[in-house]
Amino acid sequence: MKNIAVIGSGFAGLTSAIELASLGYQVTVFEKNSTAGGRARNFKTNGFTFDMGPSWYWMPDVFEKFFNKHDKKIEDYYKLVKLDPGFSVIYSKNDQIKVPASFDKLVDIFEKIENGSGEKLKKFINKAEKKYKIGMDSLVYKPSHSALEFINLKVLKGLFHLNVFSNFRSYVKKYFSNSKLTRLMEFPILFLGATPQNTPALYSLMNYSGLHQGTYYPIGGFHEIIVALSKLASEKGVVINYNSVVENISVSNNKVDNITVNGDQFEFDGVVAAADYHHVEQVLIDKKYRNYNSEYWEKREMAPSSLLFYVGVDKKLKNVHHHNLFFDEDFDQHAKEIYDEPNWPKNPLFYLSCPSITDATIAPEGKENLMFLIPLAPGLNDTNKMREKYFNVVLERLKKLTGNDIKSNIVYKKSYCVNDFMKDYNAFKGNAYGLANTLRQTAIFKPAMRNININNLYYTGQLTVPGPGVPPSIISGQIVAQEIDKQLKKAS
């Protein structure tokens, strides 16, 4: 039985490990932290369970397909509920759109805000659904070694519908004029970590997921999916080693000879690097074997980092929902401060997650579990003083816009920012979501999955194909397993 090492236990590491074990390999995962999940870890304190990273469960078919492939159902591992409203966008005091679970109701809301926009929303989502289906069937489950992979009848026929070359902002403007609606439609771009002007309209497929498929939540928190994948991995015989830092990948004859973990060397037939791509290349392997040099990385457009606050309060909140987007400030100015002129934002947009509204298991009775997130330029000078400044900003805005004054009700608070991303995940510039999904960083233009100088080393996760986000990382893990399996079979 051939053995494979997987570096990192985030979504991509765990899904690749499960796939490889199913293909008959002996798989060992090495994770530097003391728990699994990477950016999707959680922590428990004072009766609260805080998810540290992802909280939006979109593209439910990707999760379902993965478990089904392994003869399992989601219900075997966690309870999924559909949120209603899916999320809420706060524009000013007493002005918010609550996006309902029912698409028909959303059509009515659009129509009330702008004449004719209900029908336009239907058309927009209809086209987005087509993109989603073509994307899922023919685009995203590809290793992207070559453009030829994408030339098939379905894609050629669908080319007209895909809007690869038009930008997201002008595409949305063709449908809607009211700024509340355009801001709502542009919001999924935040997930993709680029500006709407810079993102191909192809990604309106995300609107189909968020506005039509809906927003889901696993009871117990997002980390329950990691618990599920870790369990499935053990059921398949995968061994996961925690507190195990991979320090070096040694190469001879264009093959990985051994990897050093906590000072000890281990030999494997193949290695899947599911830790941040930049870290693996720039720190773990010798210069002459790297796919890319440091100038290449400096030129990449990174998705944002984030400033996060995990907060427990000893009262229940009013006028907020499970997911709340505070869009009361100028999106373009904030985007400029993330991408064009990296700086601490003057008046940031922010996101508030309040999962204890849905889930009584993650906060003590009568208390609320909150996570505030401000998207930031990666690489900013991260200081406690700045963190505190922005904590006061979000508390003031929460008070002003929703009437919740929580300052004297805080029973737990922890912040997390650029320095923590670098320390905990070896994240390049402390990025939160990998690379921005601009056209020039899509598919074959992303950092490649295979190392061109080392035959049995492959990369997976949010910095390679298909991109950032939990569903793409799950897909990435599946693709890499197929690729390394093909390579090892060819070599033997």
> Smaller CB distance to ligand FAD: residue 77 or 310?
310
Question: Quick one: which of 96, 306, 369, 441 contacts ligand FAD (CB under 6 A)?
Answer: 306
Q: Is 323 helix (H, G, I), strand (E, B) or coil?
A: strand
Terminal C-alpha separation, the chain = 12
Report if residue 158 touches ligand FAD, rule: CB under 6 A. no
Report if residue 473 touches ligand FAD, rule: CB under 6 A. yes
Report if residue 56 touches ligand FAD, rule: CB under 6 A. yes
Q: What's the min distance (Å) between Cβ of 460 and ligand FAD? A: 7
Q: What's the min distance (Å) between Cβ of 4 and ligand FAD? A: 15
Provide, for the chain, the percentages of residues in helix, strand and coil under a 3-state DSSP scheme, each rounded to the nearest 5.
45, 20, 35
Q: Of the listed pieces 71-79, 248-256, 272-280, 313-321, which binds ligand FAD according to CB under 6 A?
A: 272-280
Question: Quick one: which of 5, 6, 7, 394 contacts ligand FAD (CB under 6 A)?
Answer: 7
Spatial contact of 167 and 201, defined as CB atoms under 8 Å apart: yes
Report if residue 31 touches ligand FAD, rule: CB under 6 A. yes
Rounded to whole angstroms, what are the CA distances from 395 to 370, 388, 411?
12, 11, 14
Report if residue 125 touches ligand FAD, rule: CB under 6 A. no
Q: What's the min distance (Å) between Cβ of 425 and ligand FAD? A: 5
Measured at the CA of 99, the angle between CA 124 and CA 92, to 5 degrees, comes to 110
Write the single-letter amino acid at 420: D
Q: How far apart are CA 46 and CA 341, in angstroms?
A: 40
Report if residue 200 touches ligand FAD, rule: CB under 6 A. no
Length of the chain equals 492
Report if residue 352 touches ligand FAD, rule: CB under 6 A. no
Angle between helices 103-113 and 179-186 (to 10 degrees): 140
Q: Of the listed pieces 30-38, 163-171, 374-382, 480-488, which binds ligand FAD according to CB under 6 A?
A: 30-38
Question: Quick one: which of 6, 90, 192, 432 contacts ligand FAD (CB under 6 A)?
Answer: 432
Residue 43 is inside which H or E element, if any?
strand 42-45
> Smaller CB distance to ligand FAD: residue 202 or 274?
274
Neighbours of 432 (CB within 10 A): 27
> Could you tell me how many residues of this chain bind ligand FAD (CB under 6 A)?
39
Spatial contact of 28 and 239, defined as CB atoms under 8 Å apart: yes
Question: Quick one: which of 169, 180, 279, 429 contacts ligand FAD (CB under 6 A)?
Answer: 279
What residue spans of 258-373 are helical by DSSP H? Answer: 277-279, 294-299, 331-335
Measured at the CA of 329, the angle between CA 325 and CA 335, to 5 degrees, comes to 85
Q: How far apart are CA 381 and CA 361, in angstroms?
A: 36
Q: What's the min distance (Å) between Cβ of 434 and ligand FAD? A: 6
Rounded to whole angstroms, what are the CA distances from 446 to 19, 279, 299, 349, 438?
23, 16, 12, 28, 10
Report if residue 216 touches ligand FAD, rule: CB under 6 A. no
Question: Quick one: which of 5, 20, 39, 391 contacts ligand FAD (CB under 6 A)?
Answer: 39
Question: Quick one: which of 6, 21, 40, 417 contacts ligand FAD (CB under 6 A)?
Answer: 40
For 92-153, the DSSP string reads ETTEEEEE-S-HHHHHHHHHHHSTTHHHHHHHHHHHHHHHHHHIIIIITTS--S-GGGG-SH
> Smaller CB distance to ligand FAD: residue 121 or 274?
274
Residues 411-430, interacting with ligand FAD (CB under 6 A) = 425-426
Q: What's the min distance (Å) between Cβ of 300 and ligand FAD? A: 15
Q: What residues make contact with ligand FAD under the rule CB under 6 A?
A: 7-13, 30-33, 38-40, 53-56, 245-246, 274-276, 279, 306, 308, 373, 425-426, 432-434, 461-462, 468-471, 473
